[in-house]
């Protein structure tokens, strides 16, 4: 079995505090299950680097990272020093686009021991994935302004949907649905209001569905879908959406399933020609940085997703993934817990408790 090379970028704020715990757990899992993981740390793609060099990353960042199997990423952003659009577009968004990580994958799962903001839900009731298109759609930089600062001022921004871009995200989502017990897919759309691109998306869903007769599917306008996330989350299995709608749904979903401190995500290049990136949903959280109280579970769970992706088909990786998830669940129920979950433990204590169970 070959070695997997992992680039480690802690980034800013609590990224620097949760990353050591993520690595602690991955090292424990590697030792127990005999995985060959090789970690290489990079001290750029953070706002300290920006203050010294006037940019978030060195010019040859692509060549430095392209040979890795994965990037394990903490969080980026320190708005007091660097505006968010500069720090984000100068690092994370470059990774997503240049490494063609066209799938943004977020599990939405109510874990045992986590208080749910929705009344009456228990673990098992909420267990689905949001699959967001990550490279095109509404987040194109195509557009402009005319007649600026006049009464006739006109601002235009285009959305871009290519057949290749739409089909590949739908194919990923249908494959994921097929692999799950419920085999159900929901497409988020808004074809009553956005009358050109969204009907096209619907057409491509229908065409793709023909290749997956074993997957049941439906589609919702995104507004009512958001309401359904809150009112009846148990009906969902795999939810696929364009870049903008997926962005919103993939924040709403984890919020329905409890604290932001535990929600993980993956930015995938499914063809594996370039590295995929695994990161917590939360950001750098400057308000709690420096106190060692950040919840490390999102970072640890993102590491489990990374093992699942890297080791496809290798039983030891599956076991390592399952063991980490089991350790997370045990600690969420028994403690120690960080203050966001009502406990008094530190980031380090919670990370060590998860690692100890491995």
List the single partner that 295 binds among ligand ATP, Mg ion, none, CB under 5 to 8 Å by kind.
Answer: ligand ATP
Q: Does 28 bind ligand ATP (CB under 6 A)?
A: no
Partner whose footprint covers residue 294, from Mg ion, ligand ATP, none (CB < 5 to 8 Å by kind):
ligand ATP
Residue of the chain from 283, 303, 311, 351 that contacts Mg ion (CB under 5 A): 283
Q: Smallest distance, Å, CB 341 to ligand ATP?
A: 8
> For ligand ATP, which is the closer residue by CB, 63 or 287?
287
User: C-beta of 350: minimal distance to ligand ATP in Å?
Assistant: 10
Catalytic residue among 12, 190, 289, 317: 190
Using CB under 6 A, which of 340, 351, 353, 358 touches ligand ATP? 340
Minimum CB distance to Mg ion, residue 328 (Å)? 25
Smallest CA-to-CA distance from 236 within 220, 212, 258 is with 220
Q: What is the DSSP letter of 182?
A: S
Helix axes 15-33, 347-356, angle to 10 degrees: 10
Q: Which of 48, 139, 182, 200 is catalytic?
A: 139
Give yes or no for residue 47 binding ligand ATP (CB under 6 A): no
Q: How far apart are CA 154 and CA 260, in angstroms?
A: 38
Burial of 43: CB neighbours in 10 Å, binned 0-12, 13-18, 19+: exposed
Query: Minimal CA–CA distance to 19: which of 29, 30, 27, 11?
Result: 11
* Residue whose token pair is 């995938």: 268
Looking at beta carbons only, is 108 or 173 nearer to ligand ATP? 108
Bridge partner residues of 189 (DSSP): 221
Among 134, 267, 269, 295, the residue binding ligand ATP under the rule CB under 6 A is 295
Beta-bridge partners for 279: 265
Q: Which residue is nearest to Mg ion (CB)?
A: 283
Q: Starting from the edge strand earliest in sequence, which strands make up the sheet with 276-280, in order?
A: 37-41, 4-11, 70-75, 276-280, 264-268, 103-109, 127-133, 238-241, 184-189, 216-221
Between the CA of residue 101 and those of 168, 223, 250, 264, 277, what are the distances in Å?
Answer: 11, 27, 16, 16, 8
What mask of x and - would describe binding to Mg ion in positions 50 to 89, judged by CB under 5 A? ---------------------------x------------
* Residues that bind Mg ion in the complex, under the rule CB under 5 A: 77, 283
* Residues that bind ligand ATP in the complex, under the rule CB under 6 A: 14, 77, 260-261, 282-285, 287-288, 294-295, 298, 340
């Amino acid at each position: 079995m070959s070695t997997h090379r992992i680039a480690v970028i802690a980034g800013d704020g609590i990224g620097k505090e949760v990353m050591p715990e993520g690595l602690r757990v991955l090292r424990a899992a590697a030792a127990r299950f005999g995985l060959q993981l090789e970690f290489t740390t990079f001290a750029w793609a953070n706002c300290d680097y920006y203050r010294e060099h006037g940019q978030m990353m060195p010019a040859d960042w692509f060549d430095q990272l392209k040979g890795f199997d994965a990037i394990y990423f903490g969080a980026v952003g320190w708005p007091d020093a660097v505006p968010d659009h500069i720090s984000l577009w100068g690092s994370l968004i470059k990774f997503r686009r240049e490494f063609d990580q066209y799938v943004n994958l977020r599990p939405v799962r109510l874990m045992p021991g986590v208080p749910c903001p929705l009344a009456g839900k228990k673990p098992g009731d909420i267990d689905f994935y949001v699959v967001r298109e990550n490279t095109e759609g509404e987040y194109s930089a195509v557009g402009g302004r005319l007649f600026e600062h006049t009464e006739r001022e006109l601002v235009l921004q285009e959305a871009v949907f290519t057949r290749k871009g739409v089909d590949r995200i739908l194919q990923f989502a249908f494959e994921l649905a097929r692999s799950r017990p419920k085999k159900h897919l929901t497409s988020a759309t808004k074809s009553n209001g956005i009358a050109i691109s969204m009907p096209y998306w619907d057409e491509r869903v229908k065409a793709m569905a023909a290749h997956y007769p074993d997957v049941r599917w439906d589609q919702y306008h995104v507004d009512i879908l958001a309401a359904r996330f809150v009112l009846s989350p148990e009906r969902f299995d795999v939810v696929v959406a364009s870049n903008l709608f997926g962005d919103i749904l993939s924040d709403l979903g984890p919020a329905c399933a409890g604290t932001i401190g535990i929600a993980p995500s993956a930015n995938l290049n499914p063809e594996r020609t370039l590295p995929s990136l695994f990161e917590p949903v939360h950001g750098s959280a400057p308000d709690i940085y420096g106190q060692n109280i950040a919840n490390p579970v999102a970072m640890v769970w993102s590491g489990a997703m990374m093992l699942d992706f890297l080791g496809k088909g290798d039983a030891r990786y599956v076991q390592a993934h399952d063991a980490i998830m089991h350790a997370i669940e045990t600690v969420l129920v028994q403690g120690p817990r960080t203050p966001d979950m009502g406990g008094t433990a530190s980031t380090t204590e919670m990370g060590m408790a998860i690692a100890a169970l491995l």
